[in-house]
């Protein structure tokens, strides 16, 4: 059991880092709590370097097939560690002003990242379930972390109820699959399915019901239609850095797990589940983009936008070929970078004003032109306009799905991309055409006169610059990322 324990040092050290941040918080006076995020960031940078040096070119399955350490898991492990760095840096100003107990906040972020990493490494259903719950429990707490905010409390309550319900559905589906196959390891499930499909008399309805329930449980996690009802209220009520973290981390981790599960365990039965994923994809992208048009709160608008993007990403799982997996991985990274860019700029705006309505963005191009430009670039990227990461990721994924014979689904996705451009332009119009509302202008003047809060800090401004430039870089020159994606794809296909 301890022969390859050193290969799990990144996970062990990440858990230790979370505990250290929590313990150090107990001994720091209130005036020095600002050291906590830097401790977490430096720890994550060290773990990123350790993971690359330790696991580069490693292809192993540990502990009797429970955990896979391969290029696919390393790719997402590095992505989640970088995501943690971005989330913590984007949260610093917000936490210091709006939240209490910073040590608990940063510690729970780290534990959530640990759950995400274990999800993509899992090669067995019960191991995956434990990892999913570790991630989910972290998000339950983070969403309700604004204890003095009624919306945050309400969002946390809704999220934990729906999350517990979805976990129960997934676990029940898991038990039915186990009852039908007598195994929980992915490779053994695939072998059992192949044998059963060769002799259809051996297949009972419990197997298909179990797979459907597992898909429904994962559909809740990624907010796919018709399991999306929790997302808008949760996004609106959660602290805005948590909204960003939930929008990216939860979805990317869950989709990466779905990709491994369906490509390694359920692939022999693709003819049975593919049409369900196709229909779910079509409904999700259409409902998400259409309902986003009528939103007046930018967090709810981005919630429905993320639902629409989940619909696009489900196309890659429905097509499930090597090129479709590559397109999906590229889409995940492009979506993550772009979403974090827009939320980082909106977090800076919220720190200055405390406002969440789209109409409150009026005049931002005059008062803070850089953040208006950063939001505009990120929104154009989400819409899929050229020269940005969004165009590259959509072009690659849509072309890959089209080659697998799902041209009608690609056409629907392109139409939905045009719909999304409308509501993204609505936000951009507010910033560049409308004047600043008097109430917002007054808040910014009072804040600047009293304590300088209306001036964004160097940390969040620099982070926003890096993310915005990354959007352009990935849109113009994604070659280096595609090389890593090809290596990750070979591990599961």
Q: What is the pLDDT of residues 355-368, one digit of tens each?
A: 888 988 888 888 89
Q: Can you tell me the distance from the alpha carbon of 258 to that of 434, in angstroms, rounded to the nearest whole number?
A: 43
Q: What is the pLDDT of residues 241-286, one digit of tens each?
A: 999 999 999 999 999 999 999 999 999 988 889 999 999 999 999 9
Q: How many residues does the chain have?
A: 493
Q: What is the pLDDT of residues 165-223, one digit of tens each?
A: 999 999 999 999 999 888 999 999 999 888 888 776 667 788 889 999 999 999 999 99
Element (H, E) at 67: strand 67-69
Chain-centre distance for alpha carbon 480:
22
- Spatial neighbors of 281 by CB under 8 A, at least 6 apart, are 224, 311, 312, 314, 315, 318, 409
Q: What is the pLDDT of residues 42-91, one digit of tens each?
A: 999 999 999 999 988 888 888 888 999 999 999 999 999 999 999 999 99
Q: Which of 39-53, 163-177, 401-415, 444-458 bottoms out in mean pLDDT, i.e. has the lowest?
A: 444-458
Instruction: Answer yes or no: is pLDDT of 1 > 80.
Output: no
pTM confidence score:
0.93
185's tokens = 């390891």
Q: Can you tell me the distance from the alpha carbon of 157 to that of 163, in angstroms, rounded to the nearest whole number?
A: 10
Chain-centre distance for alpha carbon 456:
25
DSSP conformation class of 357: B
- Identify the band that residue 92 occupies on the pLDDT scale cut at 50, 70 and 90: very high
Any bridge partners for residue 122, and if so which? Answer: 67
Q: What is the pLDDT of residues 281-340, one digit of tens each?
A: 999 999 999 999 999 899 999 999 999 999 999 999 999 889 999 999 999 999 999 999
- Spatial neighbors of 61 by CB under 8 A, at least 6 apart, are 67, 68, 69, 123
Q: Can you tell me the distance from the alpha carbon of 50 to that of 71, in angstroms, rounded to the nearest whole number?
A: 15
Contact 311, 249 (CB under 8 A): no
Contact 300, 293 (CB under 8 A): no
Contact 247, 302 (CB under 8 A): yes
| pLDDT value at residue 337 | 96
- Where along the chain do its domains lie? 274-493
| pLDDT value at residue 447 | 56
- Spatial neighbors of 127 by CB under 8 A, at least 6 apart, are 66, 67, 118
Going by C-alpha positions, the residue among 269, 255, 261, 256 that lies closest to residue 180 is: 269
348's tokens = 């800076």
Going by C-alpha positions, the residue among 259, 278, 271, 387 that lies closest to residue 328 is: 259
Contact 482, 330 (CB under 8 A): yes
Percentage of the chain beyond pLDDT 70 is: 95
Q: Can you tell me the distance from the alpha carbon of 493 to that of 486, in angstroms, rounded to the nearest whole number?
A: 10
Instruction: Answer yes or no: is pLDDT of 452 > 50.
Output: no
Chain-centre distance for alpha carbon 77:
13
């Amino acid at each position: 059991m301890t022969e390859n324990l050193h290969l799990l040092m990144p996970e062990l050290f990440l858990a230790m880092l979370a505990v250290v941040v929590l313990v150090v918080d107990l001994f720091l006076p209130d005036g020095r709590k600002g050291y906590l995020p830097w401790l977490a960031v430096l720890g994550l940078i060290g773990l990123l370097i350790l993971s690359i040096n330790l696991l580069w070119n490693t292809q192993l399955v540990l502990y009797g097939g429970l955990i896979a350490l391969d290029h696919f898991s390393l790719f997402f492990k590095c992505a989640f560690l970088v995501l943690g760095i971005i989330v913590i840096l984007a949260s610093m100003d917000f936490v210091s002003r709006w939240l209490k107990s910073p040590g608990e906040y940063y510690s729970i972020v780290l534990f959530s990242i640990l759950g995400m990493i274990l999800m993509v490494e899992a090669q067995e259903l019960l191991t995956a379930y434990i990892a999913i719950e570790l991630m989910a429990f972290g998000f339950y707490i983070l969403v309700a972390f604004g204890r003095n905010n009624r919306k945050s409390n309400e969002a946390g309550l809704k999220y934990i109820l729906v999350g517990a319900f979805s976990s129960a559905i997934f676990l029940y589906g898991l038990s039915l699959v186990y009852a039908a196959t007598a195994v929980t390891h992915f490779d053994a499930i695939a072998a059992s399915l192949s044998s059963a499909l060769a002799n259809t008399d051996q297949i009972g309805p419990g197997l298909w019901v179990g797979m459907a329930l597992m898909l429904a449980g994962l559909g809740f996690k990624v907010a796919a239609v018709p399991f999306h009802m929790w997302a808008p209220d949760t996004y609106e009520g959660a602290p805005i850095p948590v909204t960003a973290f939930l929008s990216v981390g939860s979805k990317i981790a869950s989709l990466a797990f779905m990709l491994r599960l369906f490509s390694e365990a359920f692939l022999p039965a693709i003819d049975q589940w593919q049409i369900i994923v196709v229909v779910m994809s079509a409904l999700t992208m259409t409902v998400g983009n259409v309902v986003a048009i009528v939103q007046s709160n930018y967090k709810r608008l981005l919630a429905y936008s993320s639902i629409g993007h989940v619909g696009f990403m489900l196309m890659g799982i429905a097509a499930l070929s090597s090129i479709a997996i590559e397109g999906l991985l590229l889409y995940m990274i492009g979506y993550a970078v772009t979403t974090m860019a827009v939320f980082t700029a909106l977090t800076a705006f919220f720190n200055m004003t405390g406002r969440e309505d789209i109409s409150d963005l009026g005049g931002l191009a005059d008062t803070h032109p850089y953040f208006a430009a950063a939001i505009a670039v990120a929104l154009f990227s989400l819409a899929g306009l050229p020269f940005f990461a969004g165009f590259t990721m959509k072009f690659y994924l849509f072309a890959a799905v089209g080659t697998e014979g799902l041209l009608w689904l690609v056409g629907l996705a392109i139409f939905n991309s045009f719909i999304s451009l409308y509501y993204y332009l609505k936000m951009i119009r507010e910033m560049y055409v409308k004047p600043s509302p008097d109430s917002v202008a007054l808040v910014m003047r009072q804040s600047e006169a009293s304590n300088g809060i209306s001036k964004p800090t160097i940390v969040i401004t620099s982070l926003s610059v890096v993310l915005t430039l990354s959007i352009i870089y990935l849109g113009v020159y994604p070659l280096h990322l595609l090389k890593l994606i090809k290596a990750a794809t070979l591990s599961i296909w």
